[in-house]
Amino acid sequence: MQTKRANKYGFCFGVKRAIKLAEQNKNATTIGPLIHNQKEIDRLKVDFGVNVETNIGAIEGDSSVIIRTHGIPKNDLKELKNRNVNIIDATCPFVTKPQKICEEMSKEGYEIIIFGDENHPEVKGVVSYCTSPCQVVLEKEQIKNIHTHSKITLISQTTKNVSKFLEIANYLIENCYEVRIFNTICNATFENQESVKILAQEADIIIVVGGKQSSNTKQLLNIALQYCKDSYCIEDEKELQKEWFSGKKLCGITAGASTPNWIIDNVENIIKEF
């Protein structure tokens, strides 16, 4: 069976960088699981002694701590520094940027509006850098207390979609004199979706590797199914069924944003043997 991977799939730049940092810092502790894939967490534990700790208060001094891709609130970082901990910052650079923007724009007297989910760890981290009034909204209808002379800075959670961001931007442009817009959206998720769309039009069967509960994996499968009815989602190579491939020539492969390459390699190797 011939295989072809999507142009973009699996880990984004920030996640790849975080895993590399974890591998380079043996026996370090991550605050919360580094990514949402237990198999990869297990591998980092077995091969590199990387531990997981969710409670900052339990971190011992002089230990090495890895900050996850979506960052942590400013005060948590301060507390870690006070404890004389060796900090390995794996915060994605695409997340560090909105943090810095919030810090600088607050100083310049801008009110901050963040398009995002207030409960998301990334957003909690970003918000912690605001020292001026800040609102986190998912819809323009949620925006409060703005007027013609408001000086507004608008940013977005990195994984949000651009059309909704523009809706909020337009509302602000129409209602405020000055709006300073930083497009902090990272296109990785959408690039994976665009890529599987193209691949599914070419392939006879599509295998999506990813968690069955992962929302971005489900989206990849749905897009694949629109263009190739023989599309399947699996968590690893053990779930492959030989009969899916009978009579097929080209198998397209993609993966969710939390799927490590070595699982995708295992899957591809089995398929090639069919």
Q: Out of 182, 190, 227, 274, name the contact with a copy of itself by CB under 8 A.
A: 182
Asked if residue 179 binds a copy of itself (CB under 8 A), the reply is yes
Asked if residue 161 binds a copy of itself (CB under 8 A), the reply is no
197-222: string of b/e by CB count within 10 Å (b at 16+)?
Answer: eebbeebebbbbbbbeebebbbbbbe
Whichever of 184 and 259 has its CB closer to a copy of itself, that residue is 184
Contact yes or no for 59/83 (Cβ under 8 A): yes
Whichever of 182 and 227 has its CB closer to a copy of itself, that residue is 182
Size of the site for a copy of itself (CB under 8 A): 15
Active site residue 53: no
- Window of 45-53, 76-84, 123-131, 173-181 that interacts with a copy of itself by CB under 8 A: 173-181
Strand 111-115 relative to strand 134-137: parallel, antiparallel, unpaired? parallel
Task: Name residues contacting a copy of itself, limited to 9-38 (CB under 8 A).
Answer: none
Distance CA 220, CA 196 (A): 7
Nearest to 44 by CA among 34, 55, 53: 34
- Window of 19-27, 68-76, 158-166, 235-243 that interacts with a copy of itself by CB under 8 A: 158-166
Residue 95: partners with Cβ closer than 8 Å, 6 or more residues away = 14, 69, 70, 71, 122, 125, 126, 158
Whichever of 174 and 273 has its CB closer to a copy of itself, that residue is 174
The CB-side HSE value for 125 (13 A sphere, CA atoms) comes to 24
- Window of 66-74, 126-134, 164-172, 254-262 that interacts with a copy of itself by CB under 8 A: 164-172
3 state SS of 117: coil
Q: Out of 181, 225, 234, 250, name the contact with a copy of itself by CB under 8 A.
A: 181
Residue 224 belongs to what H/E stretch?
Answer: helix 215-227
Contact yes or no for 259/241 (Cβ under 8 A): no
Asked if residue 169 binds a copy of itself (CB under 8 A), the reply is yes
Beta carbon of residue 20, minimum distance to a copy of itself (angstroms, whole number): 24
Whichever of 181 and 240 has its CB closer to a copy of itself, that residue is 181
Asked if residue 273 binds a copy of itself (CB under 8 A), the reply is no
Asked if residue 75 binds a copy of itself (CB under 8 A), the reply is no
Q: Which of 122, 167, 194, 243 is catalytic?
A: 122
In degrees and rounded to multiples of 5, residue 87 shows phi and psi of: -95, 125
Asked if residue 146 binds a copy of itself (CB under 8 A), the reply is no
Using left for φ > 0, alpha for ψ between -120 and 50, and beta otherwise, residue 80 falls in: alpha
Distance CA 203, CA 251 (A): 6
Residue 73: partners with Cβ closer than 8 Å, 6 or more residues away = 124, 125, 127, 128
Asked if residue 110 binds a copy of itself (CB under 8 A), the reply is no
Asked if residue 143 binds a copy of itself (CB under 8 A), the reply is no
Asked if residue 137 binds a copy of itself (CB under 8 A), the reply is no
- Active site (catalytic) residues: 122
Q: Which residues bind a copy of itself (CB under 8 A)?
A: 162, 165-166, 169-170, 173-174, 176-183
